[in-house]
Amino acid sequence: MWKSDLGNGKYRNPVLYADYSDPDAIRVGEDYYMVASSFCNAPGLPLLHSKDLVNWKVVNYCIDRIPEFRYRNPIHGCGVWAPSIRYHEGIYYVCFPMPDEGIYMTTATDPLGKWSEPVNIRPGAGWIDPCPFWDDDGRAYLVAGVAKSRIGYKSVLHMVEMQPDGMALIGEEKVIFDGNTNDQVTIEGPKMYKRNGWYYVFAPAGGVKTGWQTVLRARNPFGPYEYRVVMRQGDSPVNGPHQGAWVDTVTGQDFFLHFQDVYAAGRIIHLQPMHWENDWPVIGVNKNGNEYGEPVMEYDKPDIGKSSEELADTDRYPVCEPDTSDDFSSDTMGLQWQWNANFDQSWYSLRNPGLKLNAVPTTPLRPLGDTRNILLQKWPAPEFSCVTKLDISDMKDGDTAGYISLGMNYSAFIIEKCDGKLAAYQVKGFQDFDCDGAYTEEQKEEVQIEGLEDNTENVYIRYTVKRTGTQDHYELGLPVLGAPVEETTIEVSLDGKKYTNPLTIPAKAGRWVGMKNGMFIRHNNRVKSEPGSMTVESVIYHGADE
């Protein structure tokens, strides 16, 4: 889909063209682990692994379900926001905020195994983007930002002492930085480190699409802190380059992982070289004597201390990307998949091969975009297509089976069964938000599919994402030039060869998330017959040039 590794000792940015927003990462020995936001999708908190900071795979999820009962339904934009990951005395810690519920901590001794049940270490709304830090003397701290929508103010960073086991906060919370007073508005997402006796807080400012990377430093965890902007867009095409993680290599090189918001596709991940000048970091490449750096689009791969012969062992150092295609031949669900909300094991079973999706009862008034049991994937590239083969022979009266392209603009192809008859429809919807409440307009139109009979077994859905140009935007009064513009198309076939009834709409990201696509089957709870099922036989992705 998207290869960052150029195969000649260099890489291109982004290293991940997928919506792994608000990344944080660590190195433990020769292994890198990265976590990202997951909002209302489950399982949550994707954990990615790399050996070289360029080639990444999803290897686990840190939580099976989002804490709190209300996430049994999708609550777009809520749930798990920007997490952090740390390793201390043999334990991996992932600290994550839920802006309405509190700050949570989950731990593991094996990052690929089962993570602990999350503990709410600071109940209550308002704090976001937490990061734990363990000092040399054994004391521990937590730094965090705030969400104006929950607490009434923004651009402020707090510090508080934490129990050494990470399971509670102690002492008095203190404001260590107020970005409202020094042109660092919307400062958030802090990550804390220590180097040469300095305490550093890396924190993005200026807004998601238009901002920059700021770094604070002090001789005491509680300050006073001085600050410097260490990365700006400059002459690069990378708008809003900020929020992420400082990581090093075993050979002593420094790098910074961060995101870029590209609208419909979400927040994609870049890797920047980093160096130090007078105990201040510079991220990217600084030009004309600037104290700050600018993003690079191509660079030498990190030196991970391996010979060319060792790196040729593709089992240990593969050129790879997160999985997309699936024939469902495994005993477990592929890690590329997430549900639209907290899920129940009764929703599916693996037939090896094939994935049986059971129709989940729901009210007919619920918009398609709010269907709980949509099985979704992130966009994996700037342009692509995928073909999904469905077996609908086990649908029952009252069932609706379908495929959806999900964002604030969404479209779907659905088949309904009523009184033993099958009918096909196209759906277009638009979501808007008042605070965090979703309001949806939805249009449904019947379409004729040549050859569709009441006993039809297989339906093929082809989903295509195509870039149609660029568009300039203004965000917070600042320009974002040349942002990509995409359109999505859903087509249907009964033989996997001839596709008809294309439905094309402009792409628009969801609530803080990039576009996703996937399939579902639901049952009208006013129809008293037993729900049926459908089987997903395969999902095959193709790059734009295939």
pLDDT tens digits for range 292-321: 999 999 999 999 999 999 999 999 999 999
Q: What is the pLDDT of residue 381?
A: 97
Average pLDDT, the chain: 96
Residue ranges, comma separated, of all CATH 2.115.10.20 domains in the chain are 10-311
Instruction: Give the pLDDT band (50/70/90) at residue 476.
Output: confident
Quick check: 436 pLDDT over 80? Answer: no
22, 321, 397, 399: the catalytic one is: 22
338-543: which CATH number, 1.20.58.1290, 1.10.10.10, 2.60.120.200, 3.40.50.150? 2.60.120.200
Residue ranges, comma separated, of all CATH 2.60.120.200 domains in the chain are 338-543
Where do we find the tokens 């099985």? Answer: 375
Token pair belonging to 220: 């005491």
Whether domain 10-311 has CATH 1.20.58.1180: the reply is no
Q: What is the pLDDT of residue 461?
A: 98
pLDDT tens digits for range 360-417: 999 989 999 999 999 999 999 999 999 999 999 999 999 999 999 999 999 999 999 9
SS3 538: strand
What values do phi and psi take at 265, rounded to 5? -75, -10
294 is annotated as an active-site residue: no
pLDDT tens digits for range 12-57: 999 999 999 999 999 999 999 999 999 999 999 999 999 999 999 9
User: Residue by residue, what is the 3-state secondary structure of 488-512?
Assistant: EEEEEECCCCCCEEEEEEECCCCCC
Q: Which residue, 486, 535, 532, 540, is CA-closest to 508?
A: 486
Q: Tell me if the pTM is above 0.75.
A: yes
Q: What is the pLDDT of residue 438?
A: 79
Quick check: 437 pLDDT over 80? Answer: no
Contact 391, 428 (CB under 8 A): no
Q: How would you classify the pairing of strands 348-350 and 355-358? A: antiparallel
User: Residue by residue, what is the 3-state secondary structure of 230-298?
Assistant: EECCCCCCCCCCEEEEEEECCCCCEEEEEEEECHHHCEEEEEEEEEEECCEEEECECCCCCCCEECCCE
Q: What is the pLDDT of residue 289?
A: 86
Q: Report the percent of the chain where pLDDT is more than 70.
A: 100
From residue 49, alpha-carbon distances to 14, 32, 56, 163, 378 in Å are 16, 6, 6, 28, 17
Token pair belonging to 177: 């930085």
Contact 260, 23 (CB under 8 A): no
- The amino acid occupying position 29 is G
For residues 133 and 166, give the distance between their C-alpha atoms in angstroms, rounded to a whole number.
9
Q: What is the pLDDT of residue 433?
A: 85
Token pair belonging to 331: 């005993």
Provide mean pLDDT across the span 254-280. 98
Quick check: 435 pLDDT over 80? Answer: no
Instruction: Give the pLDDT band (50/70/90) at residue 191.
Output: very high
Q: What is the pLDDT of residue 74?
A: 95
188, 254, 383, 416: the catalytic one is: 188
Quick check: 259 pLDDT over 80? Answer: yes
Provide mean pLDDT across the span 487-495. 98
From residue 24, alpha-carbon distances to 32, 148, 340 in Å are 10, 22, 23
Least trusted range by pLDDT, from 154-168, 197-211, 353-367, 435-449:
435-449
pLDDT tens digits for range 103-150: 999 999 999 999 999 999 999 999 999 999 999 999 999 999 999 999
453 is annotated as an active-site residue: no
